[in-house]
Amino acid sequence: MSEERVAVKTYVPAYQRETWRGHADDLGMSLSEFLRTMTQAGRRGFVEAGSTTAAEADNTDANPGGQGLEELVLEVVADGPASWEDLVDAATGDVEDRLDDTLSQLQEEGQLRYSGRDGGYVRSDR
């Protein structure tokens, strides 16, 4: 199983995105994390006999942050040796995704902007 993350795009009405964003905020999740979780949870209802077992459907990223580090390490090394860097990437990949989502959201909301002059992100209200 590859740990590489890829972007998936979909188009929904703006009100739908805002509804999802509200639910994600209520749960303390990024929008991407919320959508991954809801998609995986929804897949459990579509498990067809012979295609995927319920156990395989449950062995997903449906519980971001809830997977134990021990389980993650064992999953990464299941197909052979993994370097320290591979393990660090697997353990921190979701944090990078969540940070990117949060930065994008704060910029969309006008709370944050990137300033080359200041050398990084700054609050928009200052």
For every residue of 31-85, DSSP letters joined together read: HHHHHHHHHHHHHGGGPPTTT--HHHHHSSSSSTTTS-HHHHHHHHGGGS---HH
Query: pLDDT tens digit string along 85-107?
Result: 888 887 777 777 788 888 888 99
**Residue given tokens 């949060």 in the structure block:** 102
Q: How far does CA 101 lie from the centroid of its chain?
A: 9
Answer yes or no: are the C-beta atoms of 57 and 71 closer than 8 Å.
Answer: no
CA–CA gap between residue 56 and residue 46 (Å, rounded): 12
Query: pLDDT tens digit string along 22-80?
Result: 888 888 888 888 888 888 777 666 554 444 444 444 444 444 444 577 887 888 899 89
Question: pTM to 2 decimals?
Answer: 0.38
Q: Find, among 76, 41, 35, 43, the residue nearest to 62 by Cα.
A: 41
Domain residue spans in the chain? 14-123
What is the structure's pLDDT at 60? 46
Beta bridge partners of 115: 120
Report residue 126's pLDDT band, with 50, 70 and 90 as the boundaries.
low
